[in-house]
Each structure stands twice: as structure tokens, then as C-alpha cells.
Chain A
């Protein structure tokens, strides 16, 4: 597969839809086995390992999250949270067939709700994608919240 710009855009939009539809096991399939989901704590944070982030998760931790969301004794998901992504049209920042490297940039608004409480988060998602065994996969999804360092309430699903 040689992805076009439209393929990348479609991928990012489909990814958000899987989360909104709570199809989390399918969503996990979008990640490469060494994929990382990163949500930094600080504005324009570059350090990944030697400072605090909100999330820096490999597949083991992401699988844990997904399995936990369906757990019988996951009390913080009784009742379950719901979420909705409103994406700006993703920009394609890089198409590099030679290095199998594709990057997109997607400003978003994200709503998560449970019981009567609703939170609104806004920010920018940066996807680093690669073709693995004929399909686009996420090598890295970096999510920067506009107010990443604010005192947050629970964020239980996936921005």
C-alpha cells in the first residue's frame, strides 16, 4: 500500500469514530505493536520519559485500559462514559514513502460525559503513521490539550 493524503485523512477521521462508537478493541488494532499514545502534561513538552506526562502508554497499557473499561468491577464506569470528537480537517504534514513515515495534524474539540457531568477539552492530535503489513498503523499519537496543565476532572476514555 502506498497511502495518499486522502488515505491519511480518512484514517484519522475513522480512528476518532471508533473511539466515539466505543469500538475500543477495533481501535487498538489501529496501533502498530510498538505504538505509543502520548498526552504531555506541559505546553510544548518535548521530554517523554524524564518528566511527568498525562499519558505515555504502550500497547500493554492501552490493552489494560480497554479491558478495564468493560470490567465487572470497574466502578468508575458504572455508568459508562461517552465521548465525542469534533475534528478539524486533518492537515497532512508529511508523506514520506521512502521512510514509511506519514504525519498528520488535527485540531479537535473533545467532549466526555458521565452521569450529569460533561467536560470539554480542546487541543491538537499529531499522528505518526506507517504502513505495516499492508495497512496504515499508528506509530505514535500525540495529543496536546490546550489546558494540559489545568486541574482536570477524570478523563476516562481516549481523546
Chain B
């Protein structure tokens, strides 16, 4: 039985002013509709162009559940193709990355394709004479995605024609990505190593909401950050803090700290914590870095770049970046109750290695399946996923600091403990879920 398919009213009824219905997290039908609508109407992160520096280099990933790859074409442009052979459906590449040379070759029947996806050759081609192959879907090769955008190295793609163009979709939120990139004296990032991959038995949106949830660190992370604090203080607590202590200790900051740091929302579900300061504001300066920044940008501009210490920026639907840390987390939906988190790190090209050392350390301390901070969070998500099965209350509350006026002004700055960004995400969720729905249509 389907309740929500092509039923815009039913979708809208899941979201109230300060609460959302549990089906948003639990229903396999809603999950399927997210794959069918939400992840096709929005700009989804594919990868970074430093992962495919040479012609023929490719990197495979997913948009929602759909296998895609990005590849550097012979004209040096980056193309995004659906990763299936037009013949029988075989995934043409299954390794995460590699170099395919001048063409892709399907391992099943050796159909081959140029790196823009177009069909190059079929063995025993004469067997298709007078069969109508030129009019078939197969003759079009590996289908390219029409909407691909490279923002200073970051590749995004959108499957549907519906929805906004790249700049309109992201609007002012690109300032966070830009700040992360500007932190390189050369204005250039490079992906470093493989991502951490961490499997959660909960809905992907719980993880996205958590990125701007500033009322949980001092509670859920008391076990990890609080223990670091206790041990550091027991050992004297003075002198320069080791890098790991610097990374974890701010998780124990007070409510007041988080209230004052501020939250900003942008249209289409994007937003960030840490408007005025953040848990990343007080790291020890790395020797030689500021000098290189001044050389590249001049003192005033260098200061402006480094004074911006945004905490977490959410790019709707499923990305979070940390500019001051140079990391990107991708919350990949697998099922209504299954999410795979990938945590990537970047090198600031032209900056001292010490910064990358902190980036790598932060990633393993906070984002790894072996991370004590990660253990704290996963426990909460999975308890919520299980708890929502209860019929006692079918609604999840997101009312903190709710103000009806926020609905009319998506671009605004709030007290840092508001849940306005979560509400902002759900307004975008409703918009992009229903954008391509045909009311009453049969699937």
C-alpha cells in the first residue's frame, strides 16, 4: 500500500511548524520517494576534481542510490555519467577510482564508450544491422548527467531538469566552501587519502540534523570530551595543550558559548553554526602559515579569511563541511534505517603540513568508526531510530526558539542554540520532495 506517492498533501502533512512526523525517518516508502524526488531535484556532491587530475581518471559514487561516476574527459572537462552499461545494465566500473584511458570498456560484452559516455564500439556490430539499434536507448551509450557544476574544484550534479540552477540553489551558502578554499594560499584544495566510512543504523537525516544541533555536545559527548577534560586537568591542565586536547576540549563548551556562536540559515535548506566564533576559533597558530597567507592575499584579506571560523556548514541535502578543519562529510542514504557516512579531508595547497596533521587528527578523533565521539553520537541516533517505533508519540520536536517570522526570511542569523536550521532543512525537504510529484499520477 502506498500513502505518499504522488500525494503532495500527505507529504506536506508530515511537517508542522515545530515538529515532523516519524514516517520521515521510518517509512521505506518515504525513503523511496526521497530517492525518486529529493535526490534528483537537488545538487548532490559528487567529488573533488583533485581526485581525477588526469584525462581518463574516474571516481565512482552514488547520487541517492544511483551509481554514477565522474571522469576527466579528453577535453579536460569533468563529466558525470550514470555508471551502467546501456546494454545489460552492468556497472562499467566498480572500483572507487582509477584511470580508464581513452575509453570505458564494459567487462561483460566489451561494449566501449568514450569518456563523455557516447557509444564507441560494439563487437560483432553487424549483428545489429537493421535491428533499429540507432533508435534504441542502448545506442546513446552511458547516459551523461546534464547538470554538472564545478565550483572551484567541488563537483556537484543534479539529475532532474526540475529545481534551481547551481548558483540559485546554493546562494550565499557558497561563502563557506569559498572560505575553506581561500584558506589555501593558492586558493586550491586537494583530497588526501581515502575517506573514513562509518555505517549507521539510522535515517540519514538524523545525521544531517545533528550537524547544527548545538545542545547535544556537552551532554552526549560528556563521556568523551568530558573525560579528556578531566584527564587534562588531572595532569595539571596548564602549559600548551596537545593538539588532540585542543580538538576535543571545545566540545565541552557551555550552553552560553554555543548560544553566542550563532546559527545562520540560507534558502533551500543550507545553513551553518559558528557565525561569530566556534569550537575551531582558538587553535594554536601554525608557524609560517599566516605569513604565506599575507603573501598571497595581503594582510587585511588574510586576516578576514582566517577570522571566519564557521563550525559546521550543511549543504542540503546530505553534505557537511568544516572550513577551518578542511573536511567534508557525506551522509549517504542506503535505506530508511541505514546510512553510510564518508568523512573526507583536504590539504590546503601551499600551507604548512602541520595544518594537514591537525585535519587528519580531527578526522580520526571525531569521525572514525573507532572514534569515541562517533560512538557517543551513533548511540543517540540509533536509540532515536528504535525509539520512534513507539506509538506513544508520532512526532519529533524541533521547536526550540521557533519564530513564525523565520518562514518568510530564510536568510537570517539566530541564537546559536536554535533549531531553525533543522526547520529550514525540512522546508527544503518538502519543497524538493514535491517539486516533481504529479498529483494523483499513477507511478
Which chain A residues have a beta carbon within 8 Å of chain B's beta carbons?
A: 39, 41-42, 47, 49-56, 58, 60-61, 63-65, 67-68, 71, 73-77, 149-156
The CA-CA distance from A73 to B218 in the complex, in Å, is: 11
A42:B370 contact, CB within 8 angstroms: no
Q: Which residues of A contact B393 (CB under 8 A)?
A: none
- In contact, B197 and A149 (Cβ under 8 angstroms): yes
Q: Are A152 and B360 in contact (CB under 8 A)?
A: no
Q: Is the interface on chain B under 10, 10 to 19, 20 to 34, or 35 or more residues?
A: 35 or more
In the complex, what residues of B have CB within 8 A of residue A51's CB?
A: 192-193, 345, 360
Q: Which residues of B contact A67 (CB under 8 A)?
A: 227, 230-231
Give the residues in chain A near B372, CB-CB below 8 Å.
64-65, 68
Determine if B197 and A150 form an interchain contact, defined as CB atoms under 8 angstroms apart: yes
Chain A residues contacting B192 (CB-CB under 8 Å) are: 50-52
The 10 A-B residue pairs with the shortest CB-CB distance in the complex, in nearest-first order: A152-B369, A51-B193, A151-B197, A74-B223, A76-B379, A76-B375, A151-B199, A68-B227, A54-B370, A52-B363
Across the interface, which residues of B come within 8 angstroms of A42, CB to CB? 193-194
Residue with the greatest number of chain A CB neighbours at <10 A, chosen from B235, B353, B379: B379
Q: Kindly provide the distance from the CB of A52 to the nearest chain B CB, expressed in whole angstroms.
A: 5
Q: Which of B194, B340, B345 has most A Cβ within 10 Å?
A: B194
Instruction: Determine the residue in chain B with the shortest Cβ distance to A115.
Output: B382
Return 21 A-B CB contacts under 8 Å, by A number: A39-B370, A42-B194, A49-B360, A50-B356, A52-B196, A52-B345, A52-B364, A55-B364, A55-B368, A55-B370, A60-B235, A64-B228, A68-B372, A73-B222, A73-B226, A75-B220, A75-B383, A76-B376, A152-B199, A153-B199, A153-B369
- Between A47, A58, A156, the greatest number of chain B beta carbons within 10 A of the residue's beta carbon is seen for A156
How many angstroms between the C-alpha atoms of A150 and B196 in the bound complex?
Answer: 8
Is there an interface contact between B378 and A151, defined as CB atoms closer than 8 Å?
no
- Which B residues are in CB contact (< 8 Å) with A149? 194, 197
Contact check: which of B193, B244, B343 meets A61 at CB < 8 Å? B244
Question: Do residues B375 and A56 form an inter-chain contact, with CB atoms below 8 A?
Answer: no
Task: Encode B227-255 as 1/0 by CB contact (under 8 A) with A.
Answer: 11011100100000010110000000000
Q: Are B363 and A152 in contact (CB under 8 A)?
A: no
Is B198 among interface residues, defined by CB-CB distance under 8 A? yes
The one of A76, A152, A153 that contacts B223, using a Cβ cutoff of 8 Å: A76
Q: Which of B194, B242, B376 contacts A75 (CB 8 A)?
A: B376
Distance, CA A90 to CA B199, complexed state (A): 32
Give bound CA distance, A99 to B357, whole Å.
29
